[in-house]
A and B are shown apart, each in its own frame.
Chain A
Amino acid sequence: MTNNNYKAIVIGGSAGSFSVVSKILSKLNPDFQIPIILCLHRLKYIRSGLVEGLNLKSKINVIEPLDKEKIKSNTAYLAPSNYHLFIEFDNTFSLSTEESYNHSRPSIDYTLSSAAHTFREKCVGILLTGANKDGAKGIKDIFDKKGYTIVQDPETCDIKTMPQAALRLFQPHKIMSPDEISAFLNSL
């Protein structure tokens, strides 16, 4: 079912997802090559120190990309606060300050759908714990474009709303706990 040709791992999460993402990044092989793109809901008015927090434990470098920045391997990218994050066909990021979507900026749906569109079957989409439905449609887009999809097991979620919204839309390839997600990524 999986192929060894993935161009990106795209992860969406909201309430409760910081510790899950931090755990996943802390267990990665330090030479993990596939770029990881993180779209996490975060506070609007302040630089919350999220990227610094993730870097404390991450085995690979976590950065907030600039507009038009080229996607590189062995790096995790975090959608900047108060911007939507998109992936362009030339393997660069683009940012937008347009209206909030699902009351969110960054919107997980936007990032995941854009990844689905760009990477098609060469994309792994992962949706984590969260308190709203943003991300459900986006990960389904990855599924529809034949990418590989994982939804965090609602039983292991702080707040189940987001994964449950996704599970109502489609049946992902895997439903996994955070530890299983770590192991899966390292197996790629």
Chain B
Amino acid sequence: MTYKEYLLELKKYSPYDFSEYSDNSIQRRLQKVLDEYKMTLEELRERTINDNLFVEQLVNDITVNTTDFFRDADIWLEYVETVLNKLSARQQIKIWHAGSSTGKEVYSNLILLDELGILKKTQVFATDINQQVLKEATQGTYRYSNNIKSIETYIKILEANKDNSSIKSINLEKHFNINIANDQLKVNNKYLSLPIFKKHDLVQGAIPFEEKFDIIFCRNVLIYFNTSLQTRILKIFHDHLNTSGVLILGNHEGLTGFFKTRFNRLGSFFVKSNSFHFKY
């Protein structure tokens, strides 16, 4: 049995379809699972068919759940100045984090919205394929030692740029409850009830809410998909963005195929364009 054949079996017997993930990465992730469980693909298939709980664990193992507070600090600086500031006059702001993982970027975002005084009029949705990371996300509790450095890096960059940025610094105690003895960093309680976390697999298309969004975050998710799946998901994002809505991808992700023509570049971000024009 090849790993591609296995993925088709997984698709048949479970709600999960990894068949359009990019070859190199899905093969490596599957191999990692086989090594960890000391299984062959045939054994993995048997277990997949007979054990739903195991399939959930498998999804947790296969998917990449890396996320950080303020990952790529300079991007968040740019985000505040070029995206959030322009929306601050709006009555309401809607944001979707697609592939939110454990929610660190969701809470990073809430902190910035709070600092800018626009938290109350913002609705934040966050989705992920992986139930386990969503559960962690709703708890907003992380290990202090693993996360403090990325937060401090962002604060340093804010302070170095305070002459031309709307947020001059961030007060750790205001936004986090820190317990170093327990190696715990918990986001301020007031943020916990704000995001609407929902399990959703981007591959399945139809999204679990009616809303259109002003901002969609989907950082370092599309890199795991092949080009045709990427294009399908970019269409979902395009359909669910408001006029001039902003799509925020990972630092080294670009638009593929047709959708290059349906977004305009705004610094590191992509703005939905409604005019239809070809680019050669």
Contacts and interface: CB of A to CB of B under 8 A. Distances in A.
A85 B155 CA distance: 29
Residue of A45, A88, A99, A114 ringed by the most chain B CB atoms within 10 A: A45
Contacts of A114: 24
A59 to B, nearest CB: 24
Contact of B24 (A46, A64, A86, A97): A86
A45 B29 CA distance: 25
A45 B73 contact: yes
B256 A94 contact: no
Interface stretch (B110-118, B127-135, B217-225): B217-225
Nearest to B64: A98
Contact of B223 (A82, A87, A95): A95
Highest count of chain A CB atoms <10 Å: which of B23, B66, B72: B66
Nearest to A100: B66
Interface stretch (A10-18, A22-30, A65-73): A65-73
A66 B24 contact: no
Contacts of A82: 71-72
Contact of A89 (B23, B230, B253, B254): B23
Given A47-B74, A94-B223, A67 B254 contact: yes
Interface string A50-93: 00000000000000111111000000000010110011110000
Contacts of B150: 45
A47 B251 CA distance: 11
A61 B71 CA distance: 27
B12 interface: no
How big is the B interface, by class?
A: 20 to 34
Contacts of A99: 66
- The dominant DSSP class at the A interface is loop
A96 interface: yes
B149 A96 contact: no
B169 interface: no
Contacts of B153: 45-46
Nearest to A95: B223
Contact of A46 (B73, B220, B227): B73
B22 A97 contact: no
Contact of B252 (A46, A87, A88, A95): A95
Contact of B66 (A45, A64, A69, A97): A97
B242 interface: no
B25 interface: yes
Interface string B219-240: 0101110010010000000000
Contacts of A98: 25, 29, 64, 66
A69 B22 CA distance: 13
A94 to B, nearest CB: 5
A96 B223 CA distance: 7
A28 to B, nearest CB: 25
Contacts of B71: 82
A65 B252 CA distance: 7
23 contacts: A45-B149, A45-B153, A46-B153, A64-B252, A67-B222, A68-B230, A80-B252, A82-B71, A82-B72, A86-B24, A86-B25, A88-B22, A88-B23, A94-B22, A94-B24, A95-B220, A95-B223, A95-B250, A95-B253, A96-B64, A97-B250, A98-B64, A99-B66
Given A67-B252, A89-B23, 5 more contacts: A47-B72, A64-B252, A66-B254, A67-B223, A98-B25
